[in-house]
Amino acid sequence: MLSGTVTRRYTQGLYAAAKDEKTITAVDVSLHLLVQTMQEIPRLRTLLEHPVIHPAAKLNVLRNVFGAHLHPLVERFVAVALERKRAPYLGAVATEFHRQADAAKGRTEVLVESALPLTPAQVQRLAEQLSKVLQQQATPIITVQPELIAGFRVRVGNRVMDATVRGALKQFEARLAARGAEEGTH
């Protein structure tokens, strides 16, 4: 399991360096490319996380795979992460870095689970409403979860708004159980 403390420490260091160099967007794009490639090529991820392969050999592979497409700051960051055997943290750092970059621009990604697929017009309307409520530009990331029955669930950071039939049924069930417990104590 990855440590949130380690992820935050590495992200803060990388973000501060990118801010100093005025390269936040370029670093964000480069991190995304690295992590996406690691997801698409599981052998690359396995190689980077392998405890016996020397970090210099791993870095050489990355240079061969990406050429000049990795930002120099990202390459230096990855070199440090590999030296310290922190390759498993690259994805978490990329995610947190992207969140911080968006927050600095007044944007936030909002995870939306919907029981049914949403039309582009519904997504646009939802984005506008979320932007008003959050007072920043909201980008909804939609996933379809048919088990929700109907409605949607919105996650912003650690806050959750549940407007699903499944959620309502769970709340109703909890109220019935609480009422039954009260009646049993009288």
Question: pLDDT digit of tens for each residue in the chain (186 aa)?
Answer: 677 888 999 999 999 999 999 999 999 999 999 999 999 999 999 999 999 999 999 999 999 999 889 999 999 999 999 999 999 999 999 999 998 898 888 788 888 888 889 899 988 998 888 888 888 788 888 889 888 777 778 887 777 777 766 666 777 777 777 777 666 655
What is the reported pLDDT for 134? 80
What pLDDT score was predicted for residue 145? Answer: 85
Q: How far apart are CA 98 and CA 135, in angstroms?
A: 19
Range 4-102: architecture per CATH: Orthogonal Bundle (1.10)
How far apart are alpha carbons 2 and 170 in whole angstroms? Answer: 31
Task: Say if strands 107-114 and 137-144 run parallel, antiparallel, or are unpaired.
Answer: parallel
pLDDT at 47: 94
pLDDT for 36 = 94
Look at residue 186 in the predicted model and tell me its pLDDT: 59
Q: Which pTM was predicted?
A: 0.66
Residue 44 pLDDT: 93
Pick from 86, 1, 3, 92: which is nearest to 48 by CA?
A: 86
**DSSP label of 136:** S
pLDDT of residue 64: 92
pLDDT at 184: 64
What are the domain boundaries of the chain?
4-102, 107-185
Beta bridge pairs of residue 51: none
Angstrom distance (rounded) from CA 106 to CA 75: 27
Return the pLDDT at 185: 58
